[in-house]
Amino acid sequence: MTQPLRDKLVAMLDVVYPALDCQFLADQLLSTMGLEPDMPPPPAHQNNWDESDIILITYADTVQKEGQKPLVTLRQFLNDCLSDTISAVHILPFFPYSSDDGFSVMDYLAVNESHGSWEDIEAIAREYKLMADLVINHMSARSRWFENFKKRVDPGKDYFFQGNPRDDLSAVVRPRTSPLLTPVQTDDGERYVWCTFSEDQVDLNFANPQVLIEFAAIIRYYLERGVLLFRLDAVAFLWKEPGTPCIHLQQTHELIKILRLLIEHYSPDAVIITETNVPNRENLTYFGNANEAHVIYNFSLPPLLINTLVTGDCRHLKTWLMSMPPAQLGTTYLNFIASHDGVGMRPTDGLLDEEEKQHLINAMESFGGKVSYRRTSDGRDQPYEINISLYDALKGTVEGGADHWQLQRFICAHTIMLALEGIPAFYMHSLLASENDLERMENTGRLRSINRSQWEIDKLETELENPLSHHSKAYHELTRLIDIRRRQSAFHPNATQFTLHLGLQLFGFWRQSMRRDQSIFCIHNISDEVQQVPLSSINLIGTDHWQDLISGMTIDDQSGTITLKPYQCVWLSNRD
């Protein structure tokens, strides 16, 4: 017999709040979400995605038009240029904010007036699956809640986590070099607030259950306005206990389960995605037992794939791929190779050695990239992320420097991403092959601005219509590859995947559809030299007709070889 929703919720709450009346708290949460206590659960292990799903990641104001709200311009660009290419759009924080390009939220229930309105958001949500950030770990120091914290009144009085400078905080895992505790003058004296990311981003206090209730109300508000995919920003840091690393604590995992339980009972089609930019093994824990995140970011993919293509050696990428467990049904990976943030280096821990990391950093700096750092528990500053546009990250090789293979290398990277197990996500500036925006970085003083350009839509459309422009070449080839991918059942996010062993310059894997009616051998030359692929090494079934979905080439002699130019890729399929 199925356990009632309320009973499940109470059991989870007891783990987080053992000293509280969790039955009363469960009733508050269910009332806030508008849920009945005995609601049946959604179908178990349900895949809310298929091979046609492609996510676009963009800021609300990445494309602009004079005299028009950016959300209106964005919708126009999506409908004119990407309506047959993407199924979902992740609009990065579109709320009023005070810093960090949106991730220091001042009001969770408002749309930034300079971007547009809730009506604009809802219009996009009617045409595409909408993914929004739930910036759940911290809030702006200029928010009303924090102003109330300083005045010592509600709502907000006890909404922010406070620390004590005398506590032993040496074990706390930090993603930044800024001070962890910030002194704040309040109406009843000086208090120290916990700031994982910056003094303008004050960590919320989930030890106060009223904060959880507030977020249940925020989640319901988003659901009512069409949000279907929830990105839990920086969620790994949610629960704090001095004397511990304050990352990945059990209460954090339990809170994710609680949010998932509430969200999927409200909308069985909704999806939770955890944003945990951490080493690979730690990242995998956010699947739980298929009861935490529906989807986790493949954070190790961007640095490993870039490293593969600039070294011409796929050893580490292949080792990583072989170690990745197949996601259970109802869960999957989100594959990306560029985002609004930099290329994370922590996800390479245990995958690249220190010398290899430094060689990669040196290459990226030679291509115009910058490096930001984090503070370790022993006081050392370690590289945290590389800030660079993906197009410029693939400008050349570690040994040879910049070369003429940049575009081919860039297309190869995305071809690999499109074929891997999971849902592909394209950052707008990768789809457009934007270059390093050094001027914007200098103007803002923030390294991440190097990959957060803004396009004037008329100029962008001119570039995309110019056949000689690298923006046009990249955009048209990537949208062509996406169109091919979306029609292949073997590219379902949960389809079978096996790694192929073809040497260090050929990265390959095999995908098979869940109905076993299609196989695709995905083979990629990740070097700047011509490579020969003996077809005998990939065991094509002799009775099937094989064709490269990318070029249209047919395989007439299965005992022969195929020749791959530098960075050329093939998707050999037994079904057109």
Which residues are the active-site residues?
233
Angstrom distance (rounded) from CA 288 to CA 537: 37
Count Cβ atoms below 10 Å from residue 431 Cβ, excluding itself. 24
Residues whose CB falls within 8 Å of the CB of residue 370, separated by 6 or more in sequence, listed in order: 386, 387, 388, 441, 447, 450
DSSP state of 41: P
Buried b (16+ CB within 10 A) or exposed e, 338-374: bbbbbbbbbbbeebbeeebbebbbebbeebbbbbbeb
Task: Give the HSE-up count for residue 531: Cα atoms under 13 Å, Cβ half-sphere.
Answer: 24
Buried b (16+ CB within 10 A) or exposed e, 204-242: bbbebbbbbbbbbebbbebbebbbbbbbbbbbbbbbbee
CA distances from 464 to 282, 378, 474, 550, 557 (A): 40, 49, 9, 21, 39
Residue 513 zone, left/alpha/beta (φ > 0; ψ -120 to 50; rest): beta
Count Cβ atoms below 10 Å from residue 81 Cβ, excluding itself. 19
Residues whose CB falls within 8 Å of the CB of residue 179, separated by 6 or more in sequence, listed in order: 195, 199
Instruction: Identify any residues that bridge with 427 across adjacent strands, giving them in sequence order.
Output: 57
Instruction: Identify any residues that bridge with 561 across adjacent strands, giving them in sequence order.
Output: 534
